[in-house]
Structure formats: structure tokens, C-alpha cells
Amino acid sequence: MEVTDKLVDNLAHLARLQFNDQEKAEIKKDLQKMIAFVDKLNELDTSNVSPLLHMSDNVNMLRKDEVKGSVERNEALSNAPEKTDKYFKVPKVINNPQ
């Protein structure tokens, strides 16, 4: 699989990252190496092996439906870079509020 500029741009967009041309060239090279490494694994026939979805064998780690563990709003908002006394504030994400 070939890593193109378009692929790098698309991945950068999905991750909300921005790169200059020099960075992009380096990332292209790195990504190409990573894909080559994974391609190596593709040489193995894994058609009869079910995918490993979880690293541990634990199943059904469930909790009871109980209300607990909430924090005070002041405390919750204290780590937010921007806030009011009640809300988290983020740069406006739509242009035409209805």
C-alpha cells in the first residue's frame, strides 16, 4: 500500500492535526515503514484465527446500577480552560444558530 499526500492529509484531518510540508514528508516516510511492517504480517494465513479484540480474558466486568461518584460542578469545571459558572465553553462550532 502506498502512502500518498492525500492519505496523509485525510488522516491529519481525521485527527484534527496540521502539518507543514517538511513534516508531511517525514510522516509519509514513517507511515510507509509502519505499513510495510504490518504488510509483513499479512504473509501469514490468519483465515482460521479469530481477531484478538481484547488483551485480557476477563468478561462481564459489570457494575450494579447505582448512583455514585459524581463530582461537584465547581470541581468539574476547575480544569476547563474556558468556562462560565455552569458550562464548559468551547470555540463556537456552528455559524448559524437556529
Phi/psi for 55 (5° steps) reads: -75, -25
Among 5, 25, 73, 78, binds other proteins (CB under 8 A): 73
Rounded CA separation 59/36 (Å): 34
Which residue stretch of 8-16, 19-27, 36-44 sits at the interface with other proteins (rule: CB under 8 A)?
A: 8-16
**Cα dihedral 41, 45, 47, 53 in deg (nearest 10):** -30
Closest to other proteins by CB, 33 vs 89, is 89
Which residue stretch of 1-9, 18-26, 27-35, 75-83 sits at the interface with other proteins (rule: CB under 8 A)?
A: 75-83
Of 7, 74, 55, 16, nearest in space to 35 by CA: 7
Binding to other proteins (CB under 8 A) within 28-67 occurs at 53-56, 58-67
Single-letter amino acid, residue 8? V
Q: Contact positions toward other proteins, by CB under 8 A? A: 10, 14, 16, 53-56, 58-71, 73, 76-77, 79, 82, 84, 86-94, 97
